[in-house]
Amino acid sequence: MNKYESIIIVNPNVDEAGLKEIEEKFTGLINENGKVESVENMGKKKLAYEIKKNKEATYMLFNFEAKPDSIAELERVYRITDEILKFIVVRKED
């Protein structure tokens, strides 16, 4: 298993309950084929440029271990989740 870091940028209109729901959804998805080490809600931040007419958004950071083939499924679910504006998954060096 490899170590990964993923940042998602969530629509600013999502409330605290919605953010908790997103966190639980992706924590559960990652735990199916790996292990979540930490999740950090970094709060609302101003965006460098507008994304879908939003000037700010909520950032969430996931640190986890997973099998390389499970990353494609994680990214697929990120893409079809309406609340997520942008995302990135990066493999950490050991």
Q: What is the pTM of this model?
A: 0.87
* Counted domains in the chain: 1
Q: What is the mean pLDDT of residues 77-87?
A: 92
For residues 16-22, give the mean pLDDT.
90
Mean of pLDDT over the chain? 91
35-54, pLDDT tens digit by residue?
Answer: 999 999 998 999 999 998 99
**CA–CA dist 48, 10 (Å, integer):** 15
Residue 31 · residue 74 · CB < 8 Å: no
When pLDDT is cut at 50, 70 and 90, the band that residue 14 belongs to is confident
Q: What DSSP designation does 82 have?
A: T
Domain that holds residue 11: 2-91
Task: State the CATH number of the domain containing residue 83.
Answer: 3.30.70.60
How much of the chain exceeds pLDDT 70, in percent?
99
Contact 2, 91 (CB under 8 A): yes
